Homo-oligomer: A and B are copies of this chain.
Amino acid sequence: MSTALPLPPPHDHDATRARLVEAAGEVFAEHGFQAATVREICARAGANIAAVNYHFRDKMGLYDAVLLESICVAKMADLRQLAEQSQTPEIALHQIVNGMLRRMAHAAERGNWHVRIMAHEMAHPTSGLDRVVELAIGPNYSVLRGVIAQIVGLPPHHDVVRLSTHSVIAQVVHWAHARPVISRVWPDLEMTDARLDQIARHITDFSLAALRTFAQESTK
């Protein structure tokens, strides 16, 4: 159960601290905050049990650190530049959908625990969710809303724009969130690169067809 580790150089503050955050990310992603145990985290990090309370104040402090790193990762993959360097809002939409989807898809695999932790936050939000939304999700949400507002030709605060934004986000997030169910109702579905391309293409086409119809109706 305990994995061999890239032998820890003794007395290196940042090293064990980083390994703790990484291991904690995995365990929190698997079991959620409450059900996760500091003993399993320390075992997986190859650290002593007291390390959690030394480097972070307590279990919650460790969880805060995990969420903070999750925010940093999300901010690195900022959608703003992805949208700005696209020539048309339609292309920007496809870029955003494709980018988000791939991040979600790879989240189920090794190391990328950020999305799975969010799944637990949805089922049972903790105090850290506010910060994640404010610093990571919120900005990306605004960018996407701006792009969609351009496509339908309505102001970003319009209900149609907001609802459509949620329609797009929902379709992307779905493939990460509902995967346990999807793999059961669609057993022979493999998440290859080609398949991800197909899904991203579909979500974009599906959404663009709807948005263009809305655009026609709004200028009528």
Contacts and interface: CB of A to CB of B under 8 A. Distances in A.
Residue of A137, A181, A199 ringed by the most chain B CB atoms within 10 A: A181
Copy number in the complex reads: 2
Contacts of A206: 163-164, 167, 207, 210, 214
Taking residues whose C-beta sits less than 8 angstroms from the other chain, chain A's interface range is 35 or more
B180 A141 contact: no
A119 interface: yes
B123 A184 contact: no
A138 interface: yes
Interface stretch (A1-9, A28-36, A46-54, A75-83): A28-36
A109 interface: no
Interface string A179-195: 11110111000000000
A209 interface: yes
A122 B181 contact: yes
A111 interface: no
A14 interface: no
Q: Is the interface of A mostly helix, strand, loop or mixed?
A: helix
B122 A180 contact: yes
Given A174-B173, A185-B133, A123 B125 contact: no
Given A116-B123, A119-B119, A129-B184, 19 more contacts: A119-B123, A121-B180, A125-B180, A129-B181, A133-B184, A137-B181, A138-B185, A141-B185, A163-B202, A164-B206, A167-B171, A169-B178, A170-B170, A173-B178, A177-B177, A205-B210, A209-B213, A209-B214, A213-B213
Interface of A: 30-32, 34-35, 116, 119-125, 129-130, 133-134, 137-138, 141, 159-160, 162-164, 166-167, 169-171, 173-175, 177-182, 184-186, 198-199, 202-203, 205-207, 209-210, 212-214
Per CB-CB distance, the 6 closest pairs between chain A and chain B, nearest first, are A170-B174, A34-B35, A209-B213, A119-B123, A209-B210, A163-B202
